[in-house]
Structure 1
Amino acid sequence: MVNALSGAPRTSVLFVTDLAYQARGRRYCDEDVFLTSRLREAFDVALCHPKDAAALLDGFDAVVVRNSGPVLYYPEAYAAFRNRAREVGARVYNSLDGGGDMAGKQYLVDLTRAGCPVIPTVDRVADLGLLPGAAEYVVKPKLGADSAGLRFVREAELAGAFADGGDGEGALLVQPRIGFRYEVSFYFVDQDFQYALYAPDPERRWVLEPYTASGADLDFARRFVAWNSLSRGIQRVDACRTAGGGLLLVELEDLNPYLSLDLLPTGVRDAFVARMITAVRELTA
């Protein structure tokens, strides 16, 4: 389509989302309906399901991957999309080089070994002794999402958890179940901080409120954004505030982080949208 004022062709964007995916405490469809309505002010936008993305991406200037659901539910289609995007040199946002959740949760093990402020995480029986003592431990798949396959076990059950999981060592993660005061998330676009939200009640993860990040908070979050290999895209750094007052990384979401845009003040939401439009324009420049 041509811009009626300038006569220049408008950038076309394939927006990948699963509007029907049911997520606990989140409305993927509402967020992406809103976001695409705003992106249409700057681009020609078409929506598609993640299973259709590989077949359609050739016809667009850019591909934006948003609330497309956990890829563990369509691994073959996701692999086909990544392979096709690389084959044709597609401009994908987020870029496909992220080292956080985009590549699974091995990064939690790697960051633990590096001594970073992260919930201690191991993936081998031989390393269980590296974990601090706890009343219970969390066992979950390394390629999991949305708490799929997550369970709690006691220390005596830890070694057997790998065998019980069926996939053996390397496929499961073990963490101590720690007490914390609240969870907080920091949202970035292309390494630029946008806003923060937190869940005051640890039992209600997605009941969020605006959070005023301190300088120390932002230093913490930026450390992981800088560590990540993601060239371009939206990242959400999830952390928990421990009883001692420090922050520990819970998750580095760099594939399709839910943004909770409906909870933001209008000015903050508008600024985020404007920054994202700029990012997509830069991607296709």
Structure 2
Amino acid sequence: MSPRVALVSSERGLRLDPDLPIAAPALRQAGLAVDVVRWDDAAVDWADHDLAVVRSCWDYSWRLPEFLGWAASVPRLRNAVELLRWNTDKTHLRDLARAGLPVVPTVWDPTEAGQLPDAPEWVVKPSVSAGSRDTARWDDPAAALAHVAELTAAGRTAMLQPYLAGVDTAGETAMLFLGGRFSHAVRKGPLLRRGEGVRQDRNSRGDLRAVEPTAAQRELAEAALDAVPALVPGAAPPLYARIDLVPGPAGRPVLLELELAEPSLFLPQAPAGAVARLVRSVEDAIAA
């Protein structure tokens, strides 16, 4: 009998995730039985699968306790629940900074202008979020602090970062790792526009292209991934990771995001070989 794999999504992900129509046929062609399912589908027998792969569970950010409870109940889950617990709250950036990685400077729950980093603009977002929900770019300290206050009043942790102007020209570089090895890089165009405030309908998928990363980007991304085992001891190695880098003030890359929960892998933009690497990674995880 063929090994059975679940590609786990959400109601919205099943409709909109561009990776699933590429990944599922490739895994089936490799001889695996593949189910593409919602994480909250009570009819799914997770114990019937040799591996469950978290993919586009895009509603986790407003259902986090429920999502993590589900993840803890699923045998043979990748990425593992220990990684999901750590990574779904962006306070994990504190751990990465303490590990010596160059992370975009972040102030948590600031309450007064004197706490803001010296910058002409700032980004405010909740520490638990996906798809830039409840995120905005501000050039007025009072507006930035009002956004923070709105988030904290709702019981959320707010993070404030300087807006790095290099993003406007260079965008973000997403570094994709599969099976612990670098696979490909994709440039994501700038997403936050000056003066637009909070929006819930941003979509950068029209401004994506494969790029060749620099040596400095490779070095930082690999260092970030190498730091994970010490920060989340005992967790199974990540099946996939996406590390988002932006240019810092001196042009050197800095770490914006380390995504281990449900990152887009940008398979439609990926160069030849990336899908085969994903298949091998899944096969290796089943055999482990």
TM range (shorter): 0.7 to 0.9
Q: Equivalents in 1 of 2:209, 2:178: separation in Å?
A: 20
Q: Equivalents in 1 of 2:62, 2:141: separation in Å?
A: 31
Which 5+ residue runs of structure 1 have no aligned equivalent?
1-8
8 Å contact from structure 1 (residues 137, 174) kept in 2: yes
1:216 and 2:216 are equivalent in the alignment: yes
8 Å contact from structure 1 (residues 120, 131) kept in 2: no
8 Å contact from structure 1 (residues 109, 122) kept in 2: no
TM-score, length-normalised on structure 2? 0.80
1:38 and 2:23 are equivalent in the alignment: no
Q: Which amino acid counterpart does residue 214 of structure 2 have in structure 1?
A: S
8 Å contact from structure 2 (residues 126, 158) kept in 1: yes
Which 5+ residue runs of structure 2 have no aligned equivalent?
194-202, 230-234
8 Å contact from structure 1 (residues 17, 66) kept in 2: yes
Label 1:75 to 1:159 Cα distance change in 2 as closer, same or farther (>3 A).
closer
Label 1:111 to 1:94 Cα distance change in 2 as closer, same or farther (>3 A).
closer
Q: Which amino acid counterpart does residue 163 of structure 2 have in structure 1?
A: R
Structure 1 stretch 222-231 or stretch 49-58: which is displaced more?
49-58
Label 1:174 to 1:53 Cα distance change in 2 as closer, same or farther (>3 A).
farther
- Aligned position for 2:185: 196
Q: Deviations over 1:183-219 (max 9, x none)?
A: 1111001220001111366668431222112322210
Query: How far has the Cα of 1:50 moved from its partner?
Result: 1.5
1:178 and 2:170 are equivalent in the alignment: no
Label 1:101 to 1:272 Cα distance change in 2 as closer, same or farther (>3 A).
farther
Q: Deviations over 1:33-76 (max 9, x none)?
A: 22101111221111211212685211111111112214024335
Q: Equivalents in 2 of 1:135, 1:61: separation in Å?
A: 51
Query: How far has the Cα of 1:279 moved from its partner?
Result: 2.1
Q: How does 1:1-150 map to 2 (within 5 A)?
A: 9-18=1-10, 20-21=12-13, 27-28=16-17, 30-41=18-29, 42-52=31-41, 55-85=44-74, 90-98=75-83, 102-112=87-97, 116-125=101-110, 132-150=117-135
Structure 1 stretch 221-230 or stretch 121-130: which is displaced more?
121-130
Label 1:81 to 1:128 Cα distance change in 2 as closer, same or farther (>3 A).
farther
8 Å contact from structure 1 (residues 117, 249) kept in 2: yes
Count of matched residue positions in the alignment of Structure 1 and Structure 2: 265
Structure 1 stretch 58-67 or stretch 13-22: which is displaced more?
13-22
- Aligned to 2:149, the other structure's residue is in SS state helix
8 Å contact from structure 1 (residues 101, 255) kept in 2: no
Q: Equivalents in 2 of 1:217, 1:238: separation in Å?
A: 10
1:244 and 2:233 are equivalent in the alignment: no
Query: How far has the Cα of 1:243 moved from its partner?
Result: 5.3
Structure with greater Cα Rg: 1
1:233 and 2:235 are equivalent in the alignment: no
Identity of aligned residues (%): 24
8 Å contact from structure 1 (residues 64, 92) kept in 2: yes
Q: Which amino acid counterpart does residue 55 of structure 2 have in structure 1?
A: R
Q: Deviations over 1:107-155 (max 9, x none)?
A: 2233345553111112143897565312232221111111211134423
- Aligned position for 1:259: 265
Q: Equivalents in 2 of 1:128, 1:170: separation in Å?
A: 20
CA RMSD of aligned residues (A): 3.0
8 Å contact from structure 2 (residues 58, 130) kept in 1: no
Query: How far has the Cα of 1:166 moved from its partner?
Result: 4.0
Q: Equivalents in 1 of 2:131, 2:53: separation in Å?
A: 21
Q: Equivalents in 1 of 2:116, 2:83: separation in Å?
A: 27
Label 1:216 to 1:245 Cα distance change in 2 as closer, same or farther (>3 A).
same
1:282 and 2:284 are equivalent in the alignment: yes
